[in-house]
Chains A and B, each alone.
Chain A
Amino acid sequence: MELTRARILEFVREPEAVFWVFVFPVLMAVALGIAFRSQNGGRTSVALLDSGPVAARAELEQKLRASPLIELRVLDEETAALALRKTRVEVVVAVDANAAAPTEGEPPALTYRYDGARAEGRAARLLVDDVVQRAWGRADTVNARDENAPRRGARYIDFLIPGLIGLNLMGSGLWGIGFSVVIARTNKLLKRLAATPMRRSDYLLSIALSRLLFLGLEVLAIAGAGRLLFGVQVAGSILALGLVSLVGALSFGGIGLMVAARPRTVEAVSGWMNLVQLPMWLLSGTFFSYERFPEFALPLIRALPLTALNDALRGIMNDGMSLASLWAPLLVLLAWGLTGFAVAVKFFRWQ
């Protein structure tokens, strides 16, 4: 259709828009992926203070270094405190200064400094203590076996990439539509179009549809970057991923049209766009799981379109779920999209 074609041409000829839609989310994925990658090959960072009796310290250092699970650094008091604050180390081990130099093989008196509010801090303290106690002869009384099977798609980046796709579909859907509609309105272009026999719902539909072409490219850009740089896999079918993205993009297309239906200025529409997106930025679990919010809020959070889209995308990319089992979030998305479109058609301001 001619209108959709025109919209697509307009978009492609706007280099900045292309940047924000494609390049920005990929850069964001890269930055976050690097920041949250598992450091030190999965070993725990531990600092040993360089004060206290020398012999005891040397022995402790040697014993800690022997553990394959620990990445040890010897630091002075000040640097160690700083490193702990910045979570560059999870626990600081200090040999008590007043402990008389223990004789060979005698255990030293130790202090562990860590942040008990952090799960990583508590785990690191247990690990270090375990290594120390065993090194000085504590025997395991219970026979236990490890079954360490890291779940596929359980890394932070695996969680993040579908969230970024969702966030980006929301952002580009809302901003892309909101701005172009309001600018066309201030330029009286909408009024001019209203003077033609063009069906008014066709115009709105063409805006929502023109999003679809870019949607494919957007998803491809982010998912591709995740795959190439961090090895993020798509557990489910690619077709399902495409369909979910499509439903998501149409849903945000409808919502975008609804938000853009009335405002006359770019400032006004920006305000509304931010207002609409804010709850979803906060609650929809793009960067961390929304399951952390109180139980009673969860049904509401799940009713948000971005939550639904993120859940569906994660279901497919991380857990390999089928479309049929994702009916609930898909229904939420469709409901939002259709409502948005209907409201937009009814209340759209043509001048």
Chain B
Amino acid sequence: MTMPTPENPATAAVSCRGLVKRYPDVLAVAGIDLDVWPGECFGLLGPNGAGKTTTVEMLEGLTTPDGGEITLLGAQWGKGRDRELRQQIGAALQETKLSEKLTVRETVRLFRSFYDQGRDVDEVLELAGLEEKRTARVGKLSGGQKQRLALACALVGSPKLLFLDEPSTGLDPQARLRVWEIVEQFKQQGGTVILTTHYMEEATRLCDRVAIIDHGKVIAQESPAALIASLGARQIVAFSADGELPAEALAALTGVRGVQRQDESWVLSVDRASETLPAVLAELTSRRLQMHSLTTHQATLEDVFVHLTGRGLRDQ
């Protein structure tokens, strides 16, 4: 497979320019440009209310943008080709409740009936790990099973382009793993995926590229590895102390690449924690301060977000 050429937006599976959505009390999406290449998994990452769902639903043609342009598989919404486009996309929306009175199989079968071409219902159920639940009523499924059912409904039309809005939120680790496997399999068969998530592990594992969104704007757009590398550090040291100390003093310590204040704690991006920690302790002692909490970990996308916004991804 040849790598898509990012320079040429005409080859993009999905691209948008200057996307804007205004609600009466909030500017939900404030000018977003995205290009998603065929065969890639693209993640939208951001805290609650960042505008991820609004963006995705505009791309899906469910919400009309107040400004900007969207091109999807070479076509545009509202130009008479909507049905043709919908034949080629699958979607799992945030918070859809499917009819509780139908069984799992009936539900998937119903969705299959909307598409001219698609996959075998039982095959999709097996893929989603729901073959045992075929005859169970949707209302009796667990949260994770419902999410997988939503995924099955999104896949049954054998789409080229799959939109997943928080596909694994609220799932236990095992169920999440299952969802990831399904998405990976879809990608292997050449499908393009756009997903939103709060979970760094999910973005890191599934996404070729992610866009970090905050307050309706893209604040970074890269591969997860490149984003983490942009921190210029491999590890993170976070601690809090029982008194004031200047940021410059911390920045001057060995191996420190960045200093960030997050609420009561200090977050240091460092080359090696083992090298910097003694220096931090020495600094505190010299200022007669006590260290309260301390954590160290490998740098993740979460740290990229903290670095860019000064806030945690799941803070509210």
Contacts and interface: CB of A to CB of B under 8 A. Distances in A.
**A and B interact:** yes
Given A6-B102, A9-B106, A351-B62, A192 B87 contact: no
Interface string A178-195: 000000100111011111
Interface in A1-50: 1-3, 6, 9-10, 13-14
A351 B86 CA distance: 17
A195 B62 contact: yes
B157 interface: yes
A6 B99 contact: yes
B199 interface: no
Interface residues of A, number: 23
Contacts of A103: none
Contacts of B61: 195
B180 interface: no
Determine the main DSSP class of B at the interface with A: loop
B261 interface: no
Contacts of A148: none
Interface stretch (B67-75, B111-119, B299-307): B111-119
Interface in B81-123: 83, 86-87, 89, 91, 93, 95-99, 101-102, 106, 109-111, 113-116
A98 interface: no
A3 B87 contact: no
A196 B86 contact: yes
A176 to B, nearest CB: 13
Contact of A2 (B60, B83, B101, B113): B113
Interface residues of B, number: 28
Nearest to B107: A6
A179 to B, nearest CB: 13
Contacts of A299: none
Given A9-B106, A188-B93, A351-B62, A195 B86 contact: yes
Nearest to A203: B114
A188 B94 CA distance: 9
B113 A3 contact: yes
Contacts of A2: 109-110, 113
Given A194-B62, A196-B111, 11 more contacts: A6-B99, A6-B102, A6-B106, A10-B102, A187-B96, A189-B97, A191-B62, A191-B96, A196-B114, A197-B86, A351-B62
Interface of A: 1-3, 6, 9-10, 13-14, 184, 187-189, 191-199, 350-351
8 contacts: A1-B113, A6-B99, A192-B96, A192-B98, A195-B91, A196-B86, A197-B86, A197-B115
